[in-house]
Amino acid sequence: MTALDMVRPVDVVAAVLRDPGGRLFIAQRPRHKRHGGLWEFPGGKVHSGETRADAVARELQEELGLTATWIADAPLFSRLDPGQPFRIVFLEAEARGVPVLHEHQAVAWVPVPVPVEYVLAPTDTAFAAALSRGEIRLRGKD
């Protein structure tokens, strides 16, 4: 058992946004941060006293200037980030607004499967692969 195994994981949310055509919204991480230059489903750490839905709404607003209009209660996918104390929890969401790059280098709407030119961060890669294999189904707002 390593020291990392004994650390309680920190929840990090990832917003899964889909347009009417079924494309997914991804953002390119800043080069100076962990997984710099790789693409991700946007989000961030859940703060103390915050729900996962609260964190998705806050992160979309802070990082991209988007207003969340709906966030699913149940996660689509959850996995520990390799070699890190972070548990990435993917939540389906809807948002409105025009993205403003406060944090990211670029954004894109991409089909499933995600084209190879968009190299995703490790846990985002695992999520996208499970989605492509049909192991995860996007539900949308009921």
CB 132 within 8 A of CB 46: no
Q: Is residue 91 part of a domain?
A: yes
Q: What is the CATH number of the domain that holds 12?
A: 3.90.79.10
Q: Is residue 141 part of a domain?
A: no
Please give the mean pLDDT across all residues of the chain.
93
**37 found inside a domain:** yes
Whether residue 39 contacts residue 27, with contact meaning beta carbons closer than 8 Å, is answered with yes
pTM: 0.92
- Domain assignment present for residue 59? The answer is yes
The structural domain count of the chain equals 1
- Position 139 in a domain: no
DSSP string, 89-128: EEEEEEEES----SS-SEEEEE-SSPPTTS-B-HHHHHHH
Per-residue pLDDT band at 83 (split at 50, 70, 90): confident
Which residues constitute the domain of residue 63?
4-132
Residue 140 lies in a domain: no
Residue 137 domain flag: no
Give the bridge partners for 70, in sequence order: 94
Residue 81 lies in a domain: yes
pLDDT in tens, 5-45: 567 899 999 999 999 999 999 999 998 888 879 999 999 99
Cα→Cα distances 13→33, 61, 75, 93, 124, Å: 17, 14, 9, 11, 11
- Residue 2's pLDDT band (cuts 50, 70, 90): low
Q: In 10 A of CB 31, how many CB atoms?
A: 9
Instruction: Report the pLDDT value the prediction gives residue 33, as an integer from 0 to 100.
Output: 84
